[in-house]
Amino acid sequence: MATFVERVVRAAKLDVATYEEVENDTAATGQALGVVVLSSVAAGIGSGAGVRGLIAGTIASLLGWAFWAWITYVIGTRWLREPATQADWGQLARTIGFAQAPGLLRVVGVIPFLAGLVFFVAAIWTLVAVVIAVRQALDFTSTLRAVAVCFLGWLVQVVLSALVVSLVR
């Protein structure tokens, strides 16, 4: 079995077999959580968020990860499923968690003239990784279907976030 670091590196390399591996390894949920936390901390360091920003960002990342896995599960298994689709929340949580691996690069954002570029590259790379993670976890044959699930999930998350922000103000 691969070590945590090996899995993170392979996930960042967009290795499909790694996403299949963590999808089926129920013991990898804690590792996926670790990737989400490390990615969030890297973003906080790279953006110069300070201790409060690191804590708030990490909590927000963990909540976002859990919600993203849930909404992706609902959309992918109920609304846009394929005949072979069989998944549970844990499978999506693990694969989506490991798809955050490219976010570790954001720590390089501490170099002022690289921050914008690094955050942009990490965002695109993570987006591609999430599409692969969703495709594998939902046993899709269509990458386009995985893109649609991710887009709809993102849309739901944006609307709910805007609603929460409007209620808090």
pLDDT-derived band at 1, boundaries 50, 70, 90: low
pLDDT tens digits for 48-107?
A: 888 998 999 899 899 999 999 999 999 999 999 999 999 999 999 999 999 999 999 999
Q: Where are the domains of the chain?
A: 4-168
- Whether the Cβ atoms of residue 138 and residue 69 lie closer than 8 Å to each other: no
pLDDT tens digits for 90-117?
A: 999 999 999 999 999 999 999 989 999 9
pLDDT tens digits for 125-147?
A: 999 999 999 999 999 999 999 99
Distance CA 9, CA 4 (A): 9
SS3 58: helix
pLDDT-derived band at 158, boundaries 50, 70, 90: confident
Distance CA 64, CA 159 (A): 13
Residue whose structure tokens are 């499909």: 16
pLDDT averaged over every residue in the chain = 94
